Amino acid sequence: MATEVNSNQAGANTWRERLRALRNLPPVLRLVWDSAPSVILWGCGLRVAAGAVPLATLAVTKWIIDAVVDVVAKKHPMPHAFWWYVGLEFAFASAGTIFTRAIVYCDTLLSDRYVRYISIRVMEHASRMDLATYEDPSFHDRLERARVQATDRLVMIQALGNLLQQAITTATLAASILFFSPWILALLIAFVIPAFLGDTHFAFLGYSLNFRLTPIRRELDYLRTVGASKDSAKELKLFCLSPFLKGRFQKLSDEVCDLNNELAGRKMRVGTVLALLTTLGYYSAYAYVIYRTLIGAITVGTLTFLTGAIAGASTNIQSMFSTFSGIADQALFLSDLLAFFQVRPTIQSPPQPLPAPRPIRSGFELDKVSFAYPGVPRRVLSEISLRIEPGERIALIGENGQGKTTLVKLLTRLYDPSAGRVLLDGVDLREYDLEDLYSQIGVVFQDFVRYDMTAAENIAVGKRGAIVPPALIAAAAMKSGADEVIQKLPHGYQQILGRRFDGGVDLSGGEWQKLALARAYLRDAQLLILDEPTASLDARSEHEVFEQFAELTEGKMALLISHRFSTVRMADRILVLEGGSVVEQGSHHQLMTIGGRYSEMFDLQAANYR
Ligand SMILES: Nc1ncnc2c1ncn2[C@@H]1O[C@H](COP(=O)(O)OP(=O)(O)O)[C@@H](O)[C@H]1O
Ligand SMILES: [Mg+2]
């Protein structure tokens, strides 16, 4: 397992890299915008208004204080509109409060809409991926990062809003400082820049660390799941595996914590020094303004105004820079989300797809098909040629790992062959519309899915859209023997299965299998494939299933993979797969007469029953 942290990201620690990450912003903004345009417009409007409030308030305060000083110290008469100004300041303060609340409200709305929108987009896109993509471990890293990013990066969107507001406040305050003294402004900016550089630097280091830790975090997740799952509970207890898993979890999480702590520590030390520098800048400016007031160069009102403006501008410049570096950092994370959206499946319908033939006239044909899994040099199948004619029932046998399931994946176009062609009615499978082709095939895989849904839904998922009249569901269940199982459940067809949800009832492996079979029967497919579907059925159930199967597949094509010869011998033709090739084929009798691999395996199994 990938436990060591590779350092290939460390070299990319450059400014260019950082700026390049910002290129992610426009497409992400596009996603955000699409998720809730009106909420965004409101949010921006409110932030512009809120951004101008501090300057407006300060300006009124200056006027009021100068007026008070005039009245108290110089005994001037009270200015005409004095109390109106006080009222105005109150109005600004109230507006500020209202804006802030309204912005929070908009942000909440936006988060909900955005999370929903992105989650749906991720689900949609993931569903378009082909099987090869799913079976590629690096895809899972990316998918997981995309998933996390879909929701975590919300902070970034709010940060963008804050940046807008901070920018407006800073610009208005800075303009007013500039009006009184350009030097003060220059001083403030000069002292803030180091803190900004520090912030971006650490944000970037944090990103590359996070990136490198993804494999470890995946393993941690795995250990957490195995350590507390229903499927592993039996073995965990009997093998006393918990301490082993816990130890491994601790070791790995210590590694992660150490790396994070080390970075956080450095960030704290450097960050503190730089922040102190910024404070120094602020107080230098402050002292300068006090001095100017004392020598009578500016009024007390202006002193109040400037100290307020300097404090406001300095905090806002600082926050603006750190908000910005936060955004740059988050934008780096988003590259995974965008990369995920850019992955295109290789198994797709052609531009001008053919509809699947109904009925199929000449059947399926493998024409010198070879196959190796992506990234694995070894060929699982080499130059296999075979035909499945309409109405023919074929059994495929072979030891584990000989490529039986792989052959099914090629026949159903879950994968394309590395060489050779798979034909349906003489036309390459790649010419057909993919969904239409899939709709003609019913498969029960060895590792079929147990949906934590109702019994009826577990069968209905076999049909596109999963909305099926109950009578059809019951008919399919009857054929597979699932009906008998379901009738015994407290809520019958409406019984929730699996242990995930409250009130769910779990079934035995064989019972689940009957449901999976019903699903395949519901499809009304022209080719039915059962990949070791009866492995966990008892001998009697299996016999029943296959008696039914023979009836159900009457006139259809069927491919049956099984280790039980009592079942296999019912097929019209038997293929023996070994070392990536079909080594024998024929009927039970023919193969028994040759006395090759088949008869050898048959005798071996028969001996066990004697
Ligand atoms: N997704 C995959 N990636 C790489 N190798 C695989 C994958 N799936 C199966 N294999 C390998 O291909 C071989 C054939 O597997 P499979 O078709 O499942 O055999 P069978 O169904 O006959 O037991 C095995 O050696 C297996 O390890
Ligand atoms: Mg298999």
Q: Where are the domains of the chain?
A: 21-342, 363-440+528-610, 449-524
List the single range of 142-146, 355-359, 520-524, 602-606 with lowest mean pLDDT: 142-146
Q: Which of 38-47, 113-122, 211-220, 492-501 has the lowest mean pLDDT?
A: 211-220
Q: How close is the Cα of 532 to the center of ligand 2, in Å?
A: 7
Question: Between 101 and 445, where is the model more confident?
Answer: 101
Average pLDDT over residues 211-233: 77
Residue 467: its H or E element: none
**Quick check: helix, strand or coil at residue 152?**
helix
**In angstroms, rounded to a whole number, what is the distance separating the alpha carbons of residues 286 and 184?**
9
pLDDT of amino acid 92: 94
Q: Whose CA is nearest to atom 17 of ligand 1?
A: 403
> Which CATH superfamily is 449-524 part of?
P-loop containing nucleotide triphosphate hydrolases (3.40.50.300)
Q: Does the predicted TM-score (pTM) go above 0.95? A: no
Weakest-pLDDT range from 384-393, 463-472, 483-492: 463-472
Q: Is the pLDDT of residue 524 over 90?
A: no
Q: How confident is the model at residue 270 (pLDDT cuts 50, 70, 90)?
A: very high
pLDDT interval class at 12 (50, 70, 90): very low
121: left (phi over 0), alpha (psi -120 to 50) or beta: alpha
pLDDT digits (tens, 9 = 90+) for 309-328: 988 887 887 787 778 767 76
CATH topology of domain 21-342: ABC transporter transmembrane region fold (1.20.1560)
**What pLDDT does residue 200 have?**
72
How many whole angstroms from 379 Cα to the centroid of ligand 1?
10
Strand partners, 586: 574
Question: Which atom of ligand 1 is nearest the CA belonging to 407?
Answer: 17
Question: What pLDDT is recorded for position 534?
Answer: 63
Per-residue pLDDT, 41: 93
Residue 458 CA to ligand 2 center (angstroms) comes to: 22
Degrees, nearest 5: CA angle 240-246-249: 145
The string of pLDDT tens digits covering residues 154-200 is: 677 788 888 888 999 989 998 998 988 888 888 888 887 888 788 77
Residues within 5 Å of ion ligand 2 by Cβ?
Answer: 404-405
Residue 386 near residue 359 (C-beta atoms within 8 A): no
By most ligand atoms within 8 Å of CB, the mutation choice from 130, 136, 373 for ligand 1 is 373
Give the nearest ligand 1 atom to 531 CA: 21
Joined tokens for residue 189 = 């900016």
Q: Is 80 exceeded by the pLDDT of residue 5?
A: no
In the chain, % of residues over pLDDT 90: 29
Measure 406 CA to ligand 2 centroid, in angstroms. Answer: 7
**CATH (residue range 363-440+528-610):** 3.40.50.300
- Does this chain's domain 21-342 share its CATH topology with 449-524? no
Residue of 135, 405, 415, 445 best suited for mutating to test ligand 1, as the one with most atoms within 8 Å of CB: 405
Pocket mutation for ligand 1, best pick of 380, 396, 576 (most atoms within 8 Å of C-beta): 380
Instruction: Return all residues near 164 (Cβ < 8 A) that are at least 6 apart.
Output: 44, 47, 48, 51
Higher pLDDT, 146 or 252: 252
Two structure tokens written together for 418: 């590395």
Site residues for ligand 1, CB cut-off 6 Å: 135, 373, 376, 380, 398, 400-406
30 C-alpha to center of ligand 1: Å? 41
* Confidence at residue 463, expressed as pLDDT on a 0 to 100 scale: 81
- Work out the pLDDT band at 138, boundaries 50, 70, 90: confident
Answer with the residue of higher pLDDT: 524 or 408.
408
Per-residue pLDDT tens over the stretch 473-517: 999 898 888 898 999 999 999 999 988 888 888 888 778 888 888
Q: At what angle do helices 470-480 and 539-552 cross, to 10 degrees?
A: 120
